[in-house]
Amino acid sequence: MVLSGLLPVLLCPGTAAGTTSLAASSARFFWEGLDHAAERTATADATGLDLLVGVFVLVVLEAVVFALLPIPMLDGAKLFNWNKALWALTFIPIAGFFVYLLFTETAGPLDWGEVGMMLGLFALFGALSTLMWYLVWRRIRAEQQAYDHAGAAE
């Protein structure tokens, strides 16, 4: 019984570390070869495959970063509540690697205007998510109060 409750907590960092290792090795293996292929041949297939692998690696890392956030419904909350140091040792390198890959120069110098727009979109998404959470929370709270009021009237 104790092991079944502890199993998700133990699997979370292992899964995150395994996924990150797979993404990192995929990035190294595929990007190096595909970058050289794209430079020499510059075919649409090599460039498309390079882009596909790059996007795949970023999406996998993004999924791991968001899964490890200490939000109650995510695995990161279980790990954070169980062992904050282990959570930090798992989350910080993965998030750092994700941010590093996200801001890696691939087609010239980084345009800070695009970075500002991207951060603005993240902020907008966060605000809309918070608003949606608040509306759902308020509705559930009103239903609970109506239920409590109806129970008290009986």
The span from the first CA to the last CA of the chain, in angstroms, equals: 40
26 and 56 in contact (C-beta within 8 Å)? yes
Hey, CA dihedral for 80, 86, 89, 94, is it positive or negative?
negative
| pLDDT score of 58 more than 70 | yes
The residue-averaged pLDDT of 101-116 equals 72
Angle (CA) 117-98-46 rounded to 5° is: 90
Residue 34 has pLDDT above 60, yes or no: no
Q: Is the pLDDT of residue 109 over 80?
A: no
3-state secondary structure 87-154: HHHHHHHHHHHHHHHHCCCCCCCCCHHHHHHHHHHHHHHHHHHHHHHHHHHHHHHHHHHHHHHHHHHC
Phi, psi of 70, deg, nearest 5? -80, 60
pLDDT, tens digit, for every residue of 68-103? 989 888 888 899 999 999 999 999 999 888 888 877
Q: In the chain, pLDDT over 70 holds for what percent of residues?
A: 64
Tell me what the pLDDT averaged over the chain comes to: 76
**pLDDT computed for residue 46 by the predictor:** 62
Cα–Cα distance measured from residue 83 to residue 130, given in angstroms and rounded to the nearest whole number: 27
Cβ partners under 8 Å of residue 17, min gap 6: 90
Distance of alpha carbon 94 from alpha carbon 19, whole angstroms: 10
Q: Encoding tokens for residue 28?
A: 């190294």
